[in-house]
A = this chain, B = another copy of it.
Amino acid sequence: MQQESGRRSNRDRTEATRADLIRAARKLFTEKSYAETGTPEIVAEAGVTRGALYHHFADKQALFAAVIEQEAAAVAAEIEQASPPPLSARDALIAGSDAYLKAMHAPGRTRLLLLDGPAVLGRAAMDEIDNRHGNRSLREGLVAAMRAQAMTRLPAEALTALLAAAFDRAALAIEAGGAAEDYRVVLMSLIDGLAPARAPGPARTR
Protein backbone atom coordinates (compact mmCIF):
# COMPACT_ATOMS: atom_id res chain seq x y z
CA MET A 1 0.00 0.00 0.00
CA GLN A 2 2.78 2.45 -0.74
CA GLN A 3 2.32 3.87 -4.19
CA GLU A 4 2.47 7.46 -2.96
CA SER A 5 5.45 9.38 -4.28
CA GLY A 6 7.54 8.43 -1.23
CA ARG A 7 8.22 4.96 0.20
CA ARG A 8 9.26 2.67 -2.62
CA SER A 9 11.26 -0.51 -2.54
CA ASN A 10 14.60 -0.42 -4.29
CA ARG A 11 13.47 -3.00 -6.75
CA ASP A 12 10.45 -0.95 -7.71
CA ARG A 13 12.53 2.17 -8.12
CA THR A 14 14.95 0.43 -10.42
CA GLU A 15 12.19 -1.04 -12.50
CA ALA A 16 10.35 2.26 -12.79
CA THR A 17 13.45 4.30 -13.62
CA ARG A 18 14.65 1.85 -16.21
CA ALA A 19 11.21 1.83 -17.80
CA ASP A 20 11.09 5.62 -17.81
CA LEU A 21 14.49 5.84 -19.44
CA ILE A 22 13.63 3.29 -22.08
CA ARG A 23 10.33 4.98 -22.79
CA ALA A 24 11.93 8.41 -23.11
CA ALA A 25 14.75 7.08 -25.25
CA ARG A 26 12.36 5.22 -27.50
CA LYS A 27 10.32 8.35 -28.02
CA LEU A 28 13.32 10.47 -28.98
CA PHE A 29 15.05 7.76 -31.00
CA THR A 30 11.94 7.37 -33.11
CA GLU A 31 11.28 11.09 -33.46
CA LYS A 32 14.85 11.91 -34.38
CA SER A 33 17.64 9.37 -34.58
CA TYR A 34 20.16 7.73 -32.32
CA ALA A 35 22.98 10.06 -33.32
CA GLU A 36 20.90 13.20 -33.06
CA THR A 37 19.57 12.38 -29.62
CA GLY A 38 21.75 13.30 -26.67
CA THR A 39 21.66 11.81 -23.22
CA PRO A 40 20.81 15.17 -21.61
CA GLU A 41 17.67 15.26 -23.71
CA ILE A 42 16.76 11.70 -22.82
CA VAL A 43 17.07 12.16 -19.08
CA ALA A 44 15.13 15.42 -19.24
CA GLU A 45 12.30 13.61 -20.98
CA ALA A 46 12.47 10.82 -18.43
CA GLY A 47 12.58 13.19 -15.49
CA VAL A 48 15.84 11.94 -14.03
CA THR A 49 19.50 12.92 -14.29
CA ARG A 50 22.33 11.46 -16.29
CA GLY A 51 23.57 9.84 -13.12
CA ALA A 52 20.56 7.56 -13.15
CA LEU A 53 21.11 6.67 -16.76
CA TYR A 54 24.72 5.68 -16.27
CA HIS A 55 23.82 3.82 -13.14
CA HIS A 56 21.41 1.54 -14.94
CA PHE A 57 23.09 1.33 -18.33
CA ALA A 58 26.74 0.96 -19.21
CA ASP A 59 26.51 3.64 -21.87
CA LYS A 60 24.21 5.23 -24.39
CA GLN A 61 24.54 2.25 -26.65
CA ALA A 62 23.35 -0.15 -23.95
CA LEU A 63 20.24 1.96 -23.47
CA PHE A 64 19.71 1.84 -27.20
CA ALA A 65 20.04 -1.93 -27.13
CA ALA A 66 17.36 -2.11 -24.46
CA VAL A 67 15.06 -0.01 -26.61
CA ILE A 68 15.69 -2.21 -29.63
CA GLU A 69 15.09 -5.34 -27.62
CA GLN A 70 11.75 -4.06 -26.40
CA GLU A 71 10.69 -2.86 -29.81
CA ALA A 72 11.59 -6.12 -31.50
CA ALA A 73 9.57 -7.96 -28.92
CA ALA A 74 6.62 -5.64 -29.51
CA VAL A 75 6.73 -6.27 -33.25
CA ALA A 76 6.92 -10.01 -32.72
CA ALA A 77 3.96 -9.87 -30.35
CA GLU A 78 1.87 -7.93 -32.84
CA ILE A 79 2.62 -10.49 -35.50
CA GLU A 80 1.94 -13.50 -33.36
CA GLN A 81 -1.33 -11.98 -32.21
CA ALA A 82 -2.45 -11.36 -35.78
CA SER A 83 -2.02 -14.89 -37.12
CA PRO A 84 -4.13 -17.65 -35.57
CA PRO A 85 -2.63 -21.11 -36.06
CA PRO A 86 -5.31 -22.86 -38.14
CA LEU A 87 -3.96 -21.83 -41.54
CA SER A 88 -2.16 -23.52 -44.39
CA ALA A 89 1.58 -23.00 -44.48
CA ARG A 90 1.38 -20.57 -47.34
CA ASP A 91 -1.53 -18.60 -45.91
CA ALA A 92 0.21 -18.38 -42.58
CA LEU A 93 3.25 -16.88 -44.30
CA ILE A 94 1.10 -14.35 -46.09
CA ALA A 95 -0.78 -13.41 -42.95
CA GLY A 96 2.52 -13.02 -41.14
CA SER A 97 3.89 -10.84 -43.91
CA ASP A 98 0.96 -8.48 -43.79
CA ALA A 99 1.13 -8.35 -40.03
CA TYR A 100 4.81 -7.52 -40.19
CA LEU A 101 4.32 -4.73 -42.69
CA LYS A 102 1.51 -3.32 -40.61
CA ALA A 103 3.50 -3.54 -37.40
CA MET A 104 6.47 -1.79 -38.97
CA HIS A 105 4.22 1.07 -39.95
CA ALA A 106 4.40 2.54 -36.45
CA PRO A 107 6.14 5.91 -36.74
CA GLY A 108 9.90 5.76 -36.50
CA ARG A 109 10.00 2.01 -36.15
CA THR A 110 11.69 1.37 -39.44
CA ARG A 111 14.51 3.76 -38.69
CA LEU A 112 14.88 2.35 -35.21
CA LEU A 113 14.92 -1.33 -36.15
CA LEU A 114 16.15 -1.25 -39.73
CA LEU A 115 18.56 1.66 -39.98
CA ASP A 116 19.95 2.72 -36.62
CA GLY A 117 19.80 -0.73 -35.09
CA PRO A 118 22.13 -2.45 -37.54
CA ALA A 119 24.46 0.55 -37.71
CA VAL A 120 24.80 1.00 -33.96
CA LEU A 121 24.69 -2.60 -32.73
CA GLY A 122 25.94 -4.34 -35.85
CA ARG A 123 24.21 -6.85 -38.07
CA ALA A 124 25.30 -9.78 -35.93
CA ALA A 125 23.66 -8.40 -32.81
CA MET A 126 20.54 -7.52 -34.75
CA ASP A 127 20.39 -11.02 -36.21
CA GLU A 128 20.62 -12.46 -32.74
CA ILE A 129 17.75 -10.24 -31.57
CA ASP A 130 15.67 -10.95 -34.65
CA ASN A 131 16.16 -14.67 -34.34
CA ARG A 132 15.05 -14.54 -30.74
CA HIS A 133 11.89 -12.59 -31.58
CA GLY A 134 10.54 -11.74 -35.01
CA ASN A 135 12.29 -14.05 -37.38
CA ARG A 136 11.53 -17.11 -35.34
CA SER A 137 7.98 -17.39 -36.56
CA LEU A 138 9.11 -16.72 -40.12
CA ARG A 139 11.73 -19.40 -39.93
CA GLU A 140 9.34 -21.88 -38.40
CA GLY A 141 6.78 -21.09 -41.06
CA LEU A 142 9.33 -21.71 -43.79
CA VAL A 143 10.56 -24.95 -42.26
CA ALA A 144 6.98 -26.13 -41.90
CA ALA A 145 6.26 -25.32 -45.52
CA MET A 146 9.35 -27.19 -46.62
CA ARG A 147 8.47 -30.21 -44.53
CA ALA A 148 4.96 -30.15 -45.96
CA GLN A 149 6.65 -30.14 -49.35
CA ALA A 150 4.88 -26.92 -50.23
CA MET A 151 8.29 -25.39 -50.80
CA THR A 152 11.59 -26.42 -52.29
CA ARG A 153 14.06 -27.56 -49.70
CA LEU A 154 16.63 -24.84 -49.06
CA PRO A 155 19.05 -23.89 -46.28
CA ALA A 156 16.67 -22.56 -43.66
CA GLU A 157 18.95 -19.98 -42.13
CA ALA A 158 19.90 -18.35 -45.41
CA LEU A 159 16.35 -18.41 -46.73
CA THR A 160 15.01 -16.86 -43.57
CA ALA A 161 17.60 -14.12 -43.58
CA LEU A 162 17.10 -13.18 -47.22
CA LEU A 163 13.34 -13.17 -47.07
CA ALA A 164 13.48 -11.15 -43.88
CA ALA A 165 15.74 -8.69 -45.65
CA ALA A 166 13.19 -8.35 -48.43
CA PHE A 167 10.44 -7.76 -45.89
CA ASP A 168 12.56 -5.15 -44.19
CA ARG A 169 13.25 -3.30 -47.39
CA ALA A 170 9.59 -3.43 -48.30
CA ALA A 171 8.70 -1.88 -44.96
CA LEU A 172 11.21 0.88 -45.54
CA ALA A 173 10.01 1.54 -49.06
CA ILE A 174 6.38 1.66 -48.05
CA GLU A 175 7.14 4.01 -45.19
CA ALA A 176 9.00 6.19 -47.67
CA GLY A 177 5.87 6.48 -49.77
CA GLY A 178 6.26 3.54 -52.12
CA ALA A 179 3.23 1.73 -53.49
CA ALA A 180 2.44 -0.79 -50.77
CA GLU A 181 0.52 -2.99 -53.17
CA ASP A 182 3.51 -3.34 -55.48
CA TYR A 183 5.75 -4.52 -52.70
CA ARG A 184 3.16 -6.93 -51.38
CA VAL A 185 2.73 -8.46 -54.83
CA VAL A 186 6.45 -8.91 -55.26
CA LEU A 187 6.86 -10.45 -51.83
CA MET A 188 4.09 -12.94 -52.53
CA SER A 189 5.60 -13.76 -55.90
CA LEU A 190 8.95 -14.42 -54.30
CA ILE A 191 7.37 -16.77 -51.78
CA ASP A 192 5.13 -18.52 -54.29
CA GLY A 193 8.07 -18.87 -56.63
CA LEU A 194 9.60 -21.25 -54.14
CA ALA A 195 6.81 -23.78 -54.58
CA PRO A 196 8.42 -26.98 -55.90
CA ALA A 197 6.22 -28.35 -58.65
CA ARG A 198 4.09 -25.37 -59.54
CA ALA A 199 1.59 -26.40 -56.92
CA PRO A 200 -1.52 -24.40 -57.71
CA GLY A 201 -1.78 -22.11 -54.73
CA PRO A 202 -5.26 -20.80 -53.96
CA ALA A 203 -6.46 -18.07 -56.29
CA ARG A 204 -3.96 -15.36 -57.18
CA THR A 205 -4.21 -12.36 -54.88
CA ARG A 206 -5.65 -10.22 -57.65
User: Which residues of A are at the interface with B, using a C-beta cutoff of 8 A?
Assistant: 33-35, 114-116, 118-120, 122-124, 127, 152, 154-155, 157-159, 161-166, 168-170, 172-173, 176, 178-179, 182-183, 185-187, 189-190, 192-195, 198
Contacts and interface: CB of A to CB of B under 8 A. Distances in A.
23 contacts: A34-B119, A35-B35, A35-B119, A114-B118, A115-B118, A116-B119, A123-B173, A127-B176, A154-B185, A154-B189, A155-B186, A158-B170, A158-B178, A161-B178, A162-B183, A162-B186, A162-B190, A163-B166, A165-B165, A165-B166, A190-B194, A193-B194, A198-B198
A92 to B, nearest CB: 19
A187 B44 CA distance: 47
Nearest to A193: B193
A15 B83 CA distance: 58
B115 A119 contact: yes
B186 A154 contact: yes
Contacts of A119: 33-35, 115-116, 118-120
A37 to B, nearest CB: 13
A189 B155 CA distance: 11
Contact of A158 (B122, B185, B194): B185
Contacts of A183: 158, 161-162
Given A165-B165, A166-B166, 15 more contacts: A115-B119, A118-B119, A119-B120, A127-B176, A154-B185, A154-B186, A158-B179, A158-B183, A161-B173, A162-B169, A162-B183, A164-B169, A165-B166, A165-B170, A198-B198
Q: Which of A34, A166, A170, A194 has the most CB of B within 10 A?
A: A166
A172 B126 CA distance: 12
Contacts of A195: 193
A124 B35 CA distance: 18
B162 A170 contact: yes
Nearest to A116: B119
Contacts of A172: 123
